[in-house]
Amino acid sequence: MSRVIFHTEVIELGEQVEAFFEEGMFVLFGENVPDTLKDFCYFIDSRDVDGTMKAGDRLIIDGNSYEITSVGEIAQKNLENLGHLTVVFNGAKEAGLPGSICVEAKPMPKLIMGSKISIEEE
């Protein structure tokens, strides 16, 4: 039985969210988005984080499941404090960006208004 660590919903799209699509990554942000990132983010309804993300957990996007392969050193803190998380679909065993998580290298889903995102502990 899995346990939900984090659950949110996309409430707004930045004007240039497609910019990172070809790189296989997207950026989530709750409140206090820096102006330089505003256009590139998916805005989420910030919620409490209940637990610690780790490799082996699952990222669920609109019912599709992706195994988390690595968690950057400040990803947990950013998610808790800012609702900020960069998700990279490359299957890396080490996160290239300290605020990112890497998930298995599957085609990245297209996020829309109302997309549901959660992180579940296995």
pLDDT digits (tens, 9 = 90+) for 36-75: 889 999 999 877 899 999 999 999 999 999 999 999 999 9
All domains of the chain, ordered by start, with CATH? 3-121 (2.40.33.40)
Q: Tell me the pLDDT of the chain averaged across its residues.
A: 94
Query: Model-level pTM?
Result: 0.95
Residue 31 is predicted with a pLDDT of: 77
3-state secondary structure the chain: CCEEEEEEEEEEECCCHHHHHHHCEEEEECCCCCCCCHHHEEEECCCCCCCCCCCCCEEEECCEEEEEEEECCCHHHHHHHHCCEEEECCCCCCCCCCCEEEECCCCCCCCCCCCEEEEEEC
Residue 37 is predicted with a pLDDT of: 87
Q: What percent of the chain has pLDDT over 70?
A: 99
